[in-house]
């Protein structure tokens, strides 16, 4: 059973860099069957996709965030990471990591529990 767990600071200062890590257990992030992704949810609002990273290192980013986001893999630790540069209060959200199983539907089949990141001024 695939499990994902987010970790990282819960408070980030405005204009600084938000850094989160997702630790995967139950499968290897080198698996060709998955994309590994990040989704966020501002308080009281809906879901916003941030980006995906594949085992090859290929990445897809939300166009609205692309200039500020970097996703990467650490295969030795079975982790993938998110960096979001130059954060503002609008980046305050619960950040989820998720696995996207590749196929026809490409469903997000497993999610982490989420971690709240607050951007302070």
Partner 1 sequence: QSVLTQPPSVSAAPGQKVTISCSGDSSNMRGNYVTWYQQLPGTAPKLLIYDNNKRPPGIPDRFSVSKSGTSVTLDITGLQTGDEADYYCGIWDSSLSGNWVFGGGTKLTVL
Residues that bind partner 1 (CB under 8 A): 37, 39, 46-49, 52, 60, 62-64, 96, 100, 104-114
DSSP annotation of 58: -
- Determine the 3-state secondary structure of 66 from DSSP: helix
- Compute how many other C-beta atoms are within 10 angstroms of the C-beta atom of residue 42: 14
Residue closer to partner 1 by CB (options 76, 105) is 105
Answer yes or no: are the C-beta atoms of 29 and 35 closer than 8 Å.
no
Closest approach, Cβ 27 to partner 1, in A, equals 16
Closest approach, Cβ 22 to partner 1, in A, equals 12
Closest approach, Cβ 57 to partner 1, in A, equals 14
Residue closer to partner 1 by CB (options 74, 107) is 107
- Compute how many other C-beta atoms are within 10 angstroms of the C-beta atom of residue 31: 15
Residue closer to partner 1 by CB (options 8, 114) is 114
CA distance 49 to 75: 23
Residue closer to partner 1 by CB (options 32, 105) is 105
Closest approach, Cβ 42 to partner 1, in A, equals 12
CA distance 25 to 40: 21
């Amino acid at each position: 059973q695939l499990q994902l767990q987010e970790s990282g600071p819960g408070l980030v200062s405005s204009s600084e860099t938000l850094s989160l890590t997702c630790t995967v257990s139950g499968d290897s992030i080198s698996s060709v069957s998955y994309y590994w992704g990040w989704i966020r949810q501002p308080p009281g609002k809906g879901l916003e996709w941030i980006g995906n990273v594949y085992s090859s290192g290929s990445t897809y980013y939300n166009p609205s965030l692309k200039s500020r986001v970097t996703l990467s893999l650490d295969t030795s630790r079975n982790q993938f990471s998110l960096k979001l540069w130059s954060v503002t209060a609008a980046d305050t959200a619960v950040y989820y990591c998720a696995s996207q199983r590749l196929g026809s539907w490409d469903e997000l089949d497993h999610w982490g529990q989420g971690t709240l990141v607050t951007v302070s001024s």
